[in-house]
Structure 1
């Protein structure tokens, strides 16, 4: 039986992880602001909601809820971006400094603080995995002008690299996955073909990322996947 802890799991890719990763008998803690609909599933998987707003300091609340529970797989799938950041008219010079500060807090500070607090739970596992979900926006030469979002996703890669070195002695593998634009609005249960047809093959189905994470989770504790970049095949900038 595996025990998963998944951040940002009430919708989109996080919801897909909650539905597609565990098998019957597994347990999943779902960290999110809003109550996830996946709690209503009856598929032999125990799902527990941990309500948390990561713009606030919630690491203590989360660890108090877990107490001394073992965590086998920690997936940190959190990221906010600039208002209208993906629109053609977006202009970094119009970003509000308060929004910039909040993005850095949610995308970087909360990541570090929450993972730090959960290390004792991870160390109880015989084959723990930490997986951080980044973005191709955090890679070199992707022609993205969202300064704060890009900076935070570059920073996430740095967190991954340093955390991996810190946990090497514990034989805990730390992986960063950098997806391109996802078909995250299409629910996991509606399938790959629906996601492909909806966006004419320009956005990555969430099922593809779930498949990659499944592979990582099932590796032995000897192997460590450092980083995986997953752009859409039509994306000429990634």
Structure 2
């Protein structure tokens, strides 16, 4: 019996790597991608898993249409059974203090690139009327993110897109699941220059736990999963609290210099 084929983006570290590792252990062949050279090491590690099949790695910039086309071409026409759209960028500090090039990179990666990838692979799946999609959104998408304004806005977009796409595909054999983690122990906060914030310095969720809950929800065909009890409470509160209040609360977590010393 032919192994199923999964594509995982942002898979060099963190949640993406853990999602890829679950796929290997569950019997999938893999194509993993990231814009970091560490993606090659990730692939080598995954090939050492006892149950590993084919594991291909692609070092590519998924913020560009060219990068998305490269990733699609790297599948070599093989039907993609599972797409895990996990690639994303964070960015801390006040909006007006942020470098505009970095702002654009967050939008190009999280919004434009993910949208292009979902459109391309989603159309392939629709032609076959088969497939599973997992989109890594965030509970950050429920909150106006003071000192993370563009990142939170990008996750609000992904959360919304995921639910809309799921509804549009309701009468097909394609499932769409939105994974909505909270703060997770990954390279995210270092790369986003947020180690001097309260949220950056506090204890965070285990990426392996987050990935497992996301994978299980996807395989069950569920619409979304918020990982961790604290995050479930936070997302429930965010649905009823005024946006202005949420923005004030977010400031306490994400403003530079607010880390405990």
Matched residue, 1:110: 113
2:107 counterpart of 1:99: no
The 3-state SS of whatever aligns with 1:30 is: strand
Q: Is the contact made by 1:180 and 1:232 (CA closer than 8 Å) also made in structure 2? A: no
1:164-183 Cα deviation digits (max 9, x unpaired):
23323432111111111112
Q: Structure 1 CA distance, aligned partners of 2:96 and 2:201?
A: 33
User: CA RMSD for the aligned pairs?
Assistant: 2.7
Q: Is the contact made by 1:6 and 1:76 (CA closer than 8 Å) also made in structure 2? A: yes
Displacement of 1:62 in angstroms is 1.7
Matched residue, 1:229: 226
Matched residue, 2:74: 65
2:56 counterpart of 1:48: yes
List gaps (5 residues or longer) in structure 1.
Answer: 186-198
Q: TM-score, normalising length from structure 2?
A: 0.72
Q: Structure 1 CA distance, aligned partners of 2:95 and 2:201?
A: 29
Matched residue, 1:145: 147
Q: TM-score, normalising length from structure 1?
A: 0.78
Q: Structure 1 CA distance, aligned partners of 2:97 and 2:219?
A: 45
Q: Is the contact made by 1:4 and 1:71 (CA closer than 8 Å) also made in structure 2? A: yes
1:173-196 Cα deviation digits (max 9, x unpaired):
1111111111225xxxxxxxxxxx
Q: Is the contact made by 2:94 and 2:146 (CA closer than 8 Å) also made in structure 1? A: no
* Partner residue of 2:7 out of 5, 21, 37: 5
In structure 2, the CA distance between the partners of 1:50 and 1:122, relative to structure 1 (3 Å rule), is: farther
Matched residue, 1:23: 25
In structure 2, the CA distance between the partners of 1:144 and 1:91, relative to structure 1 (3 Å rule), is: closer
The 3-state SS of whatever aligns with 1:208 is: helix
Displacement of 1:154 in angstroms is 0.4
1:193-215 Cα deviation digits (max 9, x unpaired):
xxxxxx99931111211221332
Q: Structure 2 CA distance, aligned partners of 1:236 and 1:131?
A: 22
Q: Structure 1 CA distance, aligned partners of 2:88 and 2:185?
A: 16
Displacement of 1:124 in angstroms is 6.8
In structure 2, the CA distance between the partners of 1:18 and 1:125, relative to structure 1 (3 Å rule), is: farther
Matched residue, 1:168: 170
1:130-186 Cα deviation digits (max 9, x unpaired):
011112211147x6431111110100012112222332343211111111111225x
In structure 2, the CA distance between the partners of 1:145 and 1:200, relative to structure 1 (3 Å rule), is: closer
Q: Structure 2 CA distance, aligned partners of 1:212 and 1:59?
A: 27
Displacement of 1:232 in angstroms is 6.1
In structure 2, the CA distance between the partners of 1:24 and 1:159, relative to structure 1 (3 Å rule), is: closer
Which region of structure 1 is more displaced relative to structure 2, 106-115 or 48-57? 48-57
Q: Structure 2 CA distance, aligned partners of 1:164 and 1:21?
A: 22
In structure 2, the CA distance between the partners of 1:236 and 1:161, relative to structure 1 (3 Å rule), is: closer
Q: Structure 1 CA distance, aligned partners of 2:81 and 2:158?
A: 21
List gaps (5 residues or longer) in structure 2.
Answer: 188-199, 236-261
Q: Is the contact made by 2:84 and 2:134 (CA closer than 8 Å) also made in structure 1? A: yes
Structure holding more helix per residue: 2
Q: Structure 2 CA distance, aligned partners of 1:201 and 1:152?
A: 23
